[in-house]
Amino acid sequence: MAAGHLCLLALDGAVPAGYSVCMRVLDELHILNIVVAPDFQRRGVGGWLLDETISRAGDLAHGPVLLEVRVSNAVARHLYLSKGFVEIGIRKDYYPSDGRREDAVVMCKERQVAV
């Protein structure tokens, strides 16, 4: 963990199965990317990475968890919805896409903080 960042690597033995990267922005946790290698997809690795990232980043930031995802990325949107994220907005033309631009959906998950 670098200051303000957390990167996780999921391994199957010595074989990389996926990774995640997140960073603190003020009191928010921003998930920058979650990627699972094609051979490991649909086996729970993405869900595991998401849960572990949020859990292990608990000391990094205590506020909501935010991320952006392509409007067309139905699989990732489904994964995030299944993990309690809600869609809170659109960033117009956020991603490059074959010489054009694609909108991002902004998703947010509130965390329970013990008081």
Ligand X SMILES: CC(C)(COP(=O)(O)OP(=O)(O)OC[C@H]1O[C@@H](n2cnc3c(N)ncnc32)[C@H](O)[C@@H]1OP(=O)(O)O)[C@@H](O)C(=O)NCCC(=O)NCCS
Active-site residue flag, 87: no
Active-site residue flag, 110: no
Residue 18 C-beta: closest distance to ligand X, Å: 7
**Is residue 90 within 8 Å of 70, Cβ to Cβ?**
no
Closest of 69, 72, 71, 20 to residue 45, by C-alpha? 20
Q: Report d(CA 62, CA 39) in Å as an integer.
A: 34
Q: Report d(CA 58, CA 105) in Å as an integer.
A: 24
Phi-psi sector, 84: left (phi>0), alpha (psi -120 to 50), beta = left
User: 19, 28, 52, 80: which one is catalytic?
Assistant: 80
User: 19, 52, 68, 87: which one is catalytic?
Assistant: 68
Closest of 16, 21, 17 to residue 4, by C-alpha? 21
Q: What string marks each residue from 49 to 88 as x (binds ligand X by CB under 6 A) or -?
A: --------------------x---x-xx-xx--x------
Nearer to ligand X, 3 or 109 (CB): 109
Residue 96 C-beta: closest distance to ligand X, Å: 14
Q: Which residues bind ligand X (CB under 6 A)?
A: 33-36, 41-47, 69, 73, 75-76, 78-79, 82
| Active-site amino acid positions | 68, 80
